[in-house]
Amino acid sequence: MAERGQRTARPFLEGMRDGIPIALGYFAVAFSLGIAARNAGLDAWQAFVASALNLASAGEYAGFSAIAANAGYLEVATVTLITNARYFLMGASLAQRFDPEESTVNRIGVGYGITDEIFGIAIARPIPLVPAYSFGAIAISMPAWATGTALGVIAGNALPANVVAALSVSLFGMFLAIIMPEARRNRVVLACVAVGFAASFVFSRLVLFTAAWTPGTRTIVLTLVIAGIAALVAPISDGPDAEGEGVDDGR
Q: What is the DSSP string of 71-87?
A: --HHHHHHHHHHHTTHH
- Does residue 195 sit in the same domain as residue 154? no
Domain-located, residue 230: yes
> DSSP 3-state assignment of 237?
coil
Burial letters 189-225, b for 16+ CB under 10 A, else e: bbbbbeebeebbeebeeeeeebeebbbbbbbbebbee
- Does residue 144 sit in the same domain as residue 194? no
Distant-in-sequence, close-in-space partners of 88: CB < 8 Å, separation ≥ 6: none
Q: What is the pLDDT of residue 168?
A: 52
- Does residue 139 sit in the same domain as residue 34? yes
Cα separation of 62 and 77, whole Å?
A: 10
Tally of structural domains, the chain = 2
Q: What is the pLDDT of residue 163?
A: 55
Which one of 171, 197, 232 terminates a domain? 171
- Of the candidates 51, 25, 23, 54, the residue with the CA atom closest to the CA atom of residue 38: 51
Domain-located, residue 177: no
Domain-located, residue 178: no
Domain-located, residue 218: yes
Distant-in-sequence, close-in-space partners of 112: CB < 8 Å, separation ≥ 6: 55, 138
Domain-located, residue 18: yes
- Does residue 78 sit in the same domain as residue 105? yes
Cα separation of 113 and 81, whole Å?
A: 15
Q: What is the pLDDT of residue 48?
A: 92
- Does residue 93 sit in the same domain as residue 152? yes
Domain-located, residue 15: yes
- Does residue 61 sit in the same domain as residue 131? yes
Which one of 171, 200, 220 terminates a domain? 171
Cα separation of 61 and 171, whole Å?
A: 9
- Does residue 192 sit in the same domain as residue 165? no
Residue segments in the chain with a per-residue pLDDT below the cut of 70: 1-7, 156-179, 182, 206-220, 236-251
Which one of 114, 147, 171 terminates a domain? 171
Cα separation of 57 and 173, whole Å?
A: 12
Contact 82, 220 (CB under 8 A): yes
- Does residue 191 sit in the same domain as residue 158? no
Domain-located, residue 181: no
- Of the candidates 166, 101, 155, 154, the residue with the CA atom closest to the CA atom of residue 131: 101
Cα separation of 190 and 229, whole Å?
A: 14
Q: What is the pLDDT of residue 166?
A: 56
- Does residue 133 sit in the same domain as residue 202? no
Q: What is the pLDDT of residue 225?
A: 81
Domain-located, residue 25: yes
**Containing structural domain, residue 122:** 2-171
- Does residue 29 sit in the same domain as residue 143? yes
- Does residue 28 sit in the same domain as residue 146? yes
Q: What is the pLDDT of residue 111?
A: 84
- Does residue 6 sit in the same domain as residue 48? yes
